[in-house]
Structure 1
Amino acid sequence: MDSPLRVDSTTFSPRLLAAAPHRLLFFVGAGNVLLAMAWWTLWLVNARWPQFAMPQPAIPAGWMHALVMQYQVLPPFIFGFLMTVFPRWMSLPALVRWHYVPVGFGLLGGQLLTLVGLWGIPSCLYLGLLLTFTGWLVGLVILLSLLWQESKTTWHAISAAAALFFGLIGLGLVFAYLFTGNPRLMFAAIKFAAFGFLLPVYFTVNHRMIPFFASVALPDYRPFKPMPALALFWFLTLAHLGLELVHGYAWLWLCDLPMAALCLFLLVRWWPRSATMPALLRVLLLGFAWLPVAFAMYAGQSLWFAATDQYLFGRAPAHALFIGYFGSLLVAMVTRVTQGHSGRVLELGPTATFAFVLVQAVALLRIVAEVRVDALAWQAVAGIFWLVAFTPWVLRSLAIYLRPRADGKPD
């Protein structure tokens, strides 16, 4: 275990980023939240109201938006969380710097090079994706080594590691596209990211941590973590992924209706019966509530397609999932972990409240954009709202990661 860094609590110190995995990797992720969306929002605004010529990236901009958000913006948060909790879940020693610093370097360098590549330097784009793949692979190998060492079976850890492996496959598909130019490979890479990687990681963490957080906040709360629900989830999400890959949209409702029902059942069971609850717990549950909504929308879209051969609402269900579920829980989970691991009071606070509320507006704007005549304008406005929502939250978070714990304890 690394010795704690001794730094004056009134000053910022980049050295502190190496003190714990969540510090470094959450720092990387928080920066990516703004950098990646700044590029995409500028692209949308300039596409709708042209002011100057933006370079067309080597990979079409819409595809790059999907790749960057799914493979570069959210993964640092995921690796930072999992490299913190895996040893705790398995009763193993905490990871040290040489474990997580290379992962942070790979994911940060990959994001920065990719963004440079988006401005017309294809070689940087490819190097960025390669560096992302390398950092991801190192992180996955380290987490798998912890699974190998544990003496018991931690199903949540196995589930999260499996999702990271699916994500690595998806990145591999991106490189296969770069070598072949086959658009089906890029389509598969984007779907692997959503339904093979992000959704399973988020659901796995929710399944374990929401009942735990609730039991800590509410003494009389009885945790509910049925393992068959996790197994059923994996069956349903892989079924959805398989149908997406073969364009079986008319049959998605067969897995999406049960998925919506499963998530609604868990939401009802997890929701405390007490009249009041801490705001941090409330936003976790409200963020999770987007999941049954998103899959109900997917199911409705599928049933309508089966009946009429019309693809109604476009990508509205996807953005209920991506912005509503992933975005809301990004704010809720990262705020909860950041507050706890920085020695601060476990409270939502005004900055995170602002971000969470505005993310709900962003999700609704992006959903409505699919049925508006001037859809591109609505998408651009949604991007601007995203930046407004996250900028104060990101700046506050970055400052916390660069300061010692508020309670004076070591990380």
Structure 2
Amino acid sequence: MIQINDLHATNLHPVDMQNTTSPPSRKISPAVLGQAPHRLMFFIGATNLLLAMAWWAAWLASARWPGMALPQPAQPAGWLHAFVMQYQMLPSFFFGFLLTTFPKWTGQPDFDRWRYVPVGLGLFGGQLATLLGAIGWDAGITVGLLMTMAGWLAGLLTLAPVLWREQGVTWHARSCFGALVLGFCGVLAWTAFVLGASPLWAFASIKMGTFGLLLPVYMTVAHRMFPFFAGRVVPGYTAWRPMWLLGAFWPLSLAHLVLELFHAYGWLWVVDLPLLGLTGLMLWRWWPRGPKPGILAVLFVGMAWLPLAFALYVGQSIAYELTGVYWLGRGPAHALFIGFFGSVLVAMVTRVTQGHSGRALEMSPTAWFAFVAIQLVAVTRVVAEAAPDGMAWQAAAAVGWLLAFAPWVVRIGAIYLTPRIDGRPG
């Protein structure tokens, strides 16, 4: 059943401009970042998004063209890149969304500022210190880990009491919280590796970040919100989101995680084939058949990358079992990371930013540019696994990520730094 709190959480009410007695100030001020969790956390996430990829693009370029010297981190750069993206950059957006929606979903008061500011400071400071450590500051990796763990812990301790206090059971909130707990375990696993434990801990952290944290959060939010969004604007649309979809998804995702942890790549198809069928069914049932605004369409175009990613996983797994060759390399993973996670990030953040700033729910030119460009970046990165001079293609994809997101980040960053245009709080 669709709850009315979903409506409030996404700010889909039309703006009543007649209630505004005077135009709000449009002056940029960092002080307004603290007015709502999504303002602070999305601003941090957008900043982290560019910083993380700027370092990675520079590292790839220096690895491909040695004349472009760049200090090498103590940890393998690819692993460090995975940690930054999975546990610092994307969780900045996760916590911004969930710190806003948990009270709405469960019918409880919004969080006070002092509850969410530490989360933002931990994730922003943690990533900044980590990247400084990657380019030469000896203590940076350790400082970044401590700040990241503090930010994560602050977020978990803020969200958990909401679940204890609610009347009834909000399974979407519990699903997201469970994924965050697994994510924190991934942070601890990476910490163990940095402190001298076996590299297997780093491997476990990376895999937990994908199939224990990112994919479950994305799937849970999609399950709750995508059919609801479509039902609000598409005539005759029937929202379909039975809970058995999440019930089937979780064990399959965890089974994929376990198989990866034991390097059983030839058997991944056993769980990825059902995941392909499940995500394909969701896309087919959720896709709005009638006329739809662009800001709705991009959600489902982005989601189309999910069954495509699992199709690549299935093909690679079967080929590996038959030939012993890992033909597609990290191609399936980047179809998931850039294609699905990146596309839906643009779609969801744009929607929340537009609605919660009093603007019309529509794709801005910079959002369209980011969304279309990220499709090309995803294809480039997947193709890079099979292309001659793959490192050059990877560097091109990283630079493409920066070019795709930079104008969008500038626009949404300016929105977070200014009051709502309708004069309302938040």
Q: Identify the residue that residue 262 of structure 2 maps to in structure 1.
A: 246
Q: Percent of aligned positions with the same letter in both sequences?
A: 57
Q: CA separation in 2, counterparts of 1:397 and 1:47?
A: 33
Deviations 1:375-410 (A, max 9, x none): 000001101110000000000010000010011111
Of 49, 53, 68 in structure 1, the residue corresponding to residue 84 of structure 2 is: 68
- 2:172 corresponds to 1:156: yes
Q: Identify the residue that residue 303 of structure 1 maps to in structure 2.
A: 318
Q: Identify the residue that residue 3 of structure 1 maps to in structure 2.
A: none
- 2:371 corresponds to 1:356: yes
Cα 1:7/1:73, change in 2 over 3 Å: farther
Deviations 1:290-314 (A, max 9, x none): 1100011101111111111111111
- 2:247 corresponds to 1:231: yes
Q: Identify the residue that residue 419 of structure 2 maps to in structure 1.
A: 404
Residue type of the alignment partner of 2:319: W
Q: CA separation in 1, counterparts of 2:52 and 2:405?
A: 12
1:111 positional shift? 1.1
**Contact 1:316–1:368 (8 Å) recurs in 2:** yes
Of 28, 37, 54 in structure 1, the residue corresponding to residue 44 of structure 2 is: 28
Provide the TM-score with structure 2 as the length reference.
0.94
Q: Identify the residue that residue 335 of structure 1 maps to in structure 2.
A: 350
**Contact 1:113–1:128 (8 Å) recurs in 2:** yes
Q: CA separation in 2, counterparts of 1:281 and 1:8?
A: 29
Q: Identify the residue that residue 380 of structure 1 maps to in structure 2.
A: 395
1:45 positional shift? 1.3
Q: Identify the residue that residue 410 of structure 2 maps to in structure 1.
A: 395
Q: Identify the residue that residue 338 of structure 2 maps to in structure 1.
A: 323
1:56 positional shift? 1.1
Q: Identify the residue that residue 63 of structure 2 maps to in structure 1.
A: 47
Q: CA separation in 2, counterparts of 1:173 and 1:76?
A: 19
Q: Identify the residue that residue 107 of structure 1 maps to in structure 2.
A: 123
Residue type of the alignment partner of 1:294: A
Residue type of the alignment partner of 1:301: Q
1:7 positional shift? 10
- 2:296 corresponds to 1:281: yes
Of 199, 202, 218 in structure 1, the residue corresponding to residue 215 of structure 2 is: 199
Instruction: Provide the secondary structure at the position in 2 that maps to 1:247.
Output: coil
Residue type of the alignment partner of 2:329: G
Q: CA separation in 2, counterparts of 1:190 and 1:348?
A: 33
1:8 positional shift? 5.3
1:236 positional shift? 0.5
Q: Identify the residue that residue 124 of structure 1 maps to in structure 2.
A: 140
Q: CA separation in 1, counterparts of 2:398 and 2:194?
A: 28
Q: CA separation in 2, counterparts of 1:104 and 1:7?
A: 30
**Contact 1:7–1:13 (8 Å) recurs in 2:** no
Q: CA separation in 1, counterparts of 2:314 and 2:189?
A: 27
In structure 2, runs of 5+ residues without a counterpart are: 1-21
Deviations 1:296-354 (A, max 9, x none): 11011111111111111111000000000000011001001100101000001211000
Q: CA separation in 1, counterparts of 2:67 and 2:276?
A: 43
Q: CA separation in 2, counterparts of 1:219 and 1:123?
A: 57
Deviations 1:2-44 (A, max 9, x none): xxxx995220111100000000000000000100100100111
Q: CA separation in 1, counterparts of 2:262 and 2:177?
A: 25
Q: CA separation in 1, counterparts of 2:146 and 2:390?
A: 34
Instruction: Provide the secondary structure at the position in 1 that maps to 2:310.
Output: helix
**Contact 1:240–1:256 (8 Å) recurs in 2:** yes
Residue type of the alignment partner of 1:348: M
1:115 positional shift? 1.2
* Residue range with higher mean Cα deviation, 113-122 or 33-42: 113-122
Deviations 1:46-70 (A, max 9, x none): 2212334211112111111111111
C-alpha RMSD over aligned residues: 1.2
**Contact 2:24–2:422 (8 Å) recurs in 1:** no
In structure 1, runs of 5+ residues without a counterpart are: 1-5
**Contact 2:86–2:209 (8 Å) recurs in 1:** yes
Q: Identify the residue that residue 182 of structure 1 maps to in structure 2.
A: 198
Q: CA separation in 2, counterparts of 1:212 and 1:316?
A: 32
Question: Number of residues paired by the alignment?
Answer: 405
* Residue range with higher mean Cα deviation, 122-131 or 24-33: 122-131
Residue type of the alignment partner of 1:328: S
Q: CA separation in 1, counterparts of 2:252 and 2:69?
A: 44
Q: Identify the residue that residue 94 of structure 2 maps to in structure 1.
A: 78
Instruction: Provide the secondary structure at the position in 1 that maps to 2:304.
Output: helix
Instruction: Provide the secondary structure at the position in 1 that maps to 2:408.
Output: helix
Q: CA separation in 1, counterparts of 2:138 and 2:166?
A: 43
1:142 positional shift? 0.9
Q: CA separation in 2, counterparts of 1:377 and 1:53?
A: 16
Residue type of the alignment partner of 2:333: A
Q: Identify the residue that residue 135 of structure 1 maps to in structure 2.
A: 151
Q: Identify the residue that residue 15 of structure 2 maps to in structure 1.
A: none
- 2:272 corresponds to 1:256: yes
Cα 1:219/1:9, change in 2 over 3 Å: farther
Deviations 1:95-120 (A, max 9, x none): 11011011011111111111111111
**Contact 1:57–1:122 (8 Å) recurs in 2:** no
* Residue range with higher mean Cα deviation, 194-203 or 124-133: 124-133
**Contact 2:126–2:144 (8 Å) recurs in 1:** yes
Q: CA separation in 1, counterparts of 2:138 and 2:339?
A: 32
Residue type of the alignment partner of 2:115: H
**Contact 2:23–2:423 (8 Å) recurs in 1:** no
